[in-house]
Structures are given as C-alpha cells and as structure tokens.
Structure 1
Amino acid sequence: MSYVDGFVLVVPKKKMAAYAKIARLAGKVWREHGALDYRECVGDDLKVKFGMPFTTLVKTKPGETIVFSYILYRSRAHRDRVNAKVMADPRMQKQPPGMPFDPKRMAWGGFKTIVAA
C-alpha cells in the first residue's frame, strides 16, 4: 500500500498568493524527485455541522484560512528516499524572506494507507 505525508497549516488569507508560489515550487521539486502526487488544498467549506471543524481544531483567527496538503509515495521507504533528495535540492535551501505562515502552527505526519478505493 502507498504512504502519505499529510499537512495541515494556517495561512493568513492576505498571504495565500505567496504561499501558493512556494507550494508550486515544492510540488515541482517533490514530483521531480519521485513523489507520485502532491496536493495543496485551501479551505473552502469549513463551517461543517458534524464533528470538529478544522477551524476549531487549529484555532484560526479572523483573516486566516487552512491549507490541507498531502504527498503520495509508493511506500515509507520510497518516501524516505524522495524526501532525502528533496531536502538536498538547492531550490529547497532558498527560503523566501518572511514565511507566509507560522510553522509552529503546522501539523504533519506520515500515514500508512489502509484503504485505497
């Protein structure tokens, strides 16, 4: 079964364009180094009536939105190889001035796939 790195982060709405620019580059780099899929998704329908809304979970403030992202790999070993190449890529070493989000409010982790329909 495949393996997924998943991310949830809070981005000020006024900084979404800057975030999208970084995300496009990251997606290109991950795909070039072997990731099967790379998605960055911005919150749209976040006022849900069932369960806990993401906005409550990450405590968004007015003017902020949520980005849900994932990267798909063949396996955890494949993920580890791809990520090693990505982290060594010079394009990933150049951080733009003023990150468009607070990395302390980012949640991420690796996940084993249990269902692929």
Structure 2
Amino acid sequence: MGYLDGYVCAVPTDKRDEYREHSEAAAHVFKKYGAERVVETWGDDVPDGEVTSFPMAVQCKENETVVFSWIMWPSKAVRDEGMANFMKDPICDMEKNPMPFDGKRLIYGGFNILLDV
C-alpha cells in the first residue's frame, strides 16, 4: 500500500515563492531517489487551537504561514534508502542551499498508510 512521510512547518509568509522553488527542487531529488509523489500545501484555513493546533505545534508567528507536506513512497524500504540518498545529495548542503524557514520547528514523521480511497 505504500509509505508516507509527513511534514508541518512555519514559513515566513513573504518567502512563499522562495519556499516553492526550494520545495520544487527538493521534490525532483526525492523522485530521483524513489518517491512517487511530493505534495506541498500552503495554509489557508488553519485555525489556532486552545489545547493544540498546527500553528501551536510549529510555534507559528504572526508573519508566518503553516505548510503541510507529504511524500509518498512505494514502501518503507524504498523510503529508507531514498531518504538516505537524499540526505547525501548536494541539495542538502545547508550552506549552499539554506532552507527558507526555521528547520528547528519542523515536525515530521513516517507513516504506514492505513486507508487510501
């Protein structure tokens, strides 16, 4: 059924175009290493919560937008190998290719797909 990596982060709202370019370049590299699909979404209706929420989880500031992303892989094994190769790729050189957001507030995890309708 496949495997999915999910990500949530806060991106400075005025860096939307820079984030999109950064993500598009990374998506091509993920696909080179076996990803089937890479999806980046820009928050449009992401409410603050009282106990928990996407904005609270990533400590979203007033001038930032929550981004929710996922990468679909054919299997966890392909993901493990693909992610290892991705991390060695020159695109991950943070001096030459810095992320346009605070990576310390990035939330991520790998998930087995339970339902895909």
- For this structure pair, what is the TM-score category when the shorter chain's length is used for normalisation? 0.7 to 0.9
Distance (whole Å) between structure 2 residues aligned to residue 79 and residue 115 of structure 1? 19
1:63 corresponds in structure 2 to: 63
Q: Cα offset for 1:66?
A: 0.6
TM-score normalised by structure 2 residue count? 0.85
Distance (whole Å) between structure 1 residues aligned to residue 97 and residue 78 of structure 2? 31
1:46 corresponds in structure 2 to: 46
2:75 matches 1:78: no
Q: Cα offset for 1:98?
A: 5.2
**Secondary structure of residue in 1 paired with 2:101:** coil
Structure 2 unmatched ranges of 5 or more: none
TM-score normalised by structure 1 residue count? 0.85
Q: How many residues align?
A: 116
Q: Cα offset for 1:94?
A: 5.9
Distance (whole Å) between structure 2 residues aligned to residue 104 and residue 94 of structure 1? 13
Distance (whole Å) between structure 2 residues aligned to residue 95 and residue 42 of structure 1? 25
Q: Cα offset for 1:103?
A: 0.8
Matches within 5 A, 1:1-117: 1-47=1-47, 52-93=52-93, 95-96=95-96, 99-117=99-117
Q: For the structure 1 residues 27 and 97, does the alpha-carbon distance in structure 2 shift closer, same or farther, using more than 3 Å as the test?
A: closer
Q: Cα offset for 1:108?
A: 0.4
Structure 1 unmatched ranges of 5 or more: none
Q: Cα offset for 1:53?
A: 3.8
Distance (whole Å) between structure 2 residues aligned to residue 28 and residue 70 of structure 1? 14
Q: Cα offset for 1:48?
A: 7.6
